[in-house]
Amino acid sequence: MNQATQQQDPADEEEPGIPPYELLGGETMVRSIVDRFYDLMELEPEFAELRAMHPPSMEGSRDKLFWFLSGWLGGPSLYIERFGHPRLRARHLPFAITSKERDQWITCMALAMQELGVAEDLRDRLLTSLYQTADWMRNTPG
C-alpha cells in the first residue's frame, strides 16, 4: 500500500491532473479552511462535543490539521516531513469517537468550505473522501 492510499488521498482515484490543493488555491486557501473550521468549532454550539475533546488552546491542532491536509490534498507533505506516517486512527484512539463526533467534524468542515466559497463539485468530492476517513476513525459504539 503506498502512502497516498494510506492517507485516502482524494486525488488517488481520479485521473491524473491538477491536485485538489491547486484547485483550492494552494496554501492560503487550505490554511483559511483550517482556521475557519476551528473558529466554527469554537463558536457554534452544535460542535460543542467536538470542541470539548480538544485542548483549551487549539493553536497546535490548527497547525497539525493544516500540515496534514496540505499533503492529503496533493500539496507539500508538511505533516509527514515533521512526524512521519500520520497513523491517524491510532492517534485518535485516546478520544472516544462515535458517529456523533464524526458527523460534527464533517458538518464543521462542510460549513467552513461552504463559507469560503469552495466550488460545490470540489467540495462534494473532498467531503466524500473526508467522510470515509472520519468514519474509519470511529472507535466507540454510538
Binding site for ligand HEM (CB under 6 A): 50, 53-55, 60-61, 64-65, 68, 83, 86, 88, 91-92, 95, 97, 101-102, 105, 130, 133-134, 137
Set of cell numbers at residue 39: 473558529
- Residue placing its CB nearer to ligand HEM in the complex, 36 or 64: 64
Closest separation between CB of residue 61 and ligand HEM, Å? 3
- Residue placing its CB nearer to ligand HEM in the complex, 91 or 117: 91
**Distance between CA atoms of residues 130 and 136, nearest Å:** 10
**Distance between CA atoms of residues 121 and 141, nearest Å:** 32
**Distance between CA atoms of residues 120 and 52, nearest Å:** 30
Closest separation between CB of residue 121 and ligand HEM, Å? 19
- Residue placing its CB nearer to ligand HEM in the complex, 23 or 30: 30
Closest separation between CB of residue 16 and ligand HEM, Å? 22
CA angle 132, 27, 127 (to 5 degrees): 20
**Distance between CA atoms of residues 24 and 20, nearest Å:** 6
Closest separation between CB of residue 137 and ligand HEM, Å? 4
- Residue placing its CB nearer to ligand HEM in the complex, 23 or 110: 110
The DSSP secondary-structure symbol of 45 reads G
Set of cell numbers at residue 20: 485538489
